[in-house]
Amino acid sequence: MSGKTEYSPKMQALFERVAEFSDLEGIMALLGWDQQVYMPPGGAEERGLQSAALGRILHEKFATEEFGQLIADLEDEIGDLNAETDVARSVKVIKRNYEKQVKVPLPLLMESIKAQTMAHEAWVQAKARSDFSIFKPHLETIVDLRKQYVELFQPYDHIYDPLLDDFEPGMKTADVKEIFDKLRPQQVELLQAITEKELPDNSFIKQPYKEDYQDLFGRHVITCFGYDWQRGRMDVAPHPFTTGFGLGDVRITTRYLKDDVGSALFSTMHESGHAMYAQGVSEKYKRHPLGGAASLAIHESQSRLWENIIGRSKEFWTYFYPSFQMLFPEYLAEVSLADFYRGINRVEPSFIRVEADEATYNMHIMLRLEIEIGLMEGTINVGDLPEIWNNKMQDYLGITPPDDARGVLQDIHWSGGMIGYFPTYALGNLASVQLWEKLLQEHPNVPDEIAQAKFDTILAWMREHVHQYGAKYDPQEIMIKATGSKITPEPYMAYLRKKYAEIYDL
């Protein structure tokens, strides 16, 4: 016997079709990676046409009556799509994706792809010049196209629901609001307590660290974490991201700022967390319906865990600080480990989300959620965004961005039509601590292992409880299986209070 799983003819036909879709999606992702990493600005229009052509091919192959009938036949054949078998869950995932895709007219899909490609290049120029007016007409088009998309999914409880569901399956706007309503007053209370204390010095971070040494150190760290360089690479992009073209090719990017060594350092850790999740999906899900991720929040739980819970921990720097200090003696020779640890965990309202500390980060997300809901409801006009953004930054964080680049233009997401994505960042924060707590219950010696640069236990636990399943389980199923609870803010707030009580003597 070969040991190879035998499937029904119809199930085999579905797997073969999905494998082809996976190949085409990988090519589409490769075009997107190249656009952000290597493509010259002049290639935007043609790249938009190339991406749209691929999008049309995918849509025409996927959203067919014949494929829909195949899915319906398999649903009848299997019966319970919630059964914990790969076959049942594969059909469940494909059915969900098909039902969404088939509702989108091909002209709207192609127009959206082209608009997003052009919007990306406009965003790059607008951010470089700190001039929102360059991006404004493109964002107006994006918002209009997103509204057209949402209307295809009526009836809905809230206009934002179909967009949120694209990134966080099963999550409703009301669910996110409920979580954020619990989270916000607790974070505000903690921030108020911290602001009454003296801020630790972090001026040693805001120096012109040599990029080649930063690169060397970042690569060393994520190699220790377990990032597989045989199935990945790292490049530089305006906004750090992770992308994959299959289980054997998962790439990350980082960015270097002239006056903030923390940007590349923690971005590299962050993106490696995303990548190790993708690299950890079971090999049996290669070119398979379950070869993706449970959701963006679960993805974010992995990146935030490696970046913050581990990468900003005292144990991590107990091991890595001497080598980091040796690389940059001109800035760190007189900085003790204790002062360095306090400096990289300084809590202070900041303009840039991706550089925000753990205690203020979620406030950035809540701000963006309010704006996105307003854009979709029509209560916020795109032309008013710079002013609205600045006002909300003042309300949430008590600071006003000095320019568009550090304000409304700082994030890349809207140029790609990714309205509905931002809430997953905060949800991922919460999930990361829940997973971490459960890991520590089972392996209480993990902090000691981190202090010795041993990360095998952590990665193995995440592989067992999160990574291997790919898209087999919905996000809340993953959390219940791994931790016994759905995503909830209580563990995250307990983690923040304990950590910052020590740092700030609260």
Task: Calculate the CA dihedral of residues 488, 489, 493, 494 and round it to 10 degrees.
Answer: -20
Distance in angstroms (rounded) separating the CA atoms of residues 463 and 460: 5
If one counts every other C-beta atom within 10 angstroms of the C-beta of residue 133, the result is 11
Residue of 271, 300, 307, 358 with catalytic role: 271
String of DSSP letters for 45-86: HHHHHHHHHHHHHHHHHHS-HHHHHHHHHHHHHH--TTSSSH
Between strands 234-236 and 250-254, the pairing is parallel
Tokens of 491: 């563990």
Task: Calculate the CA dihedral of residues 269, 274, 279, 282 and round it to 10 degrees.
Answer: 140
Query: Which residues have CB under 8 Å from 90's CB, separation 6+?
Result: 14, 15, 18, 288, 289, 290
Distance in angstroms (rounded) separating the CA atoms of residues 56 and 60: 6
Contact 388, 407 (CB under 8 A): no
- Work out the burial of residue 359: count CB atoms within 10 Å of its CB; fewer than 13 is exposed, 13-18 middle, 19 or more buried: buried
Whether 271 sits among the annotated catalytic residues: the reply is: yes
Which residues participate in catalysis according to the annotation?
A: 271
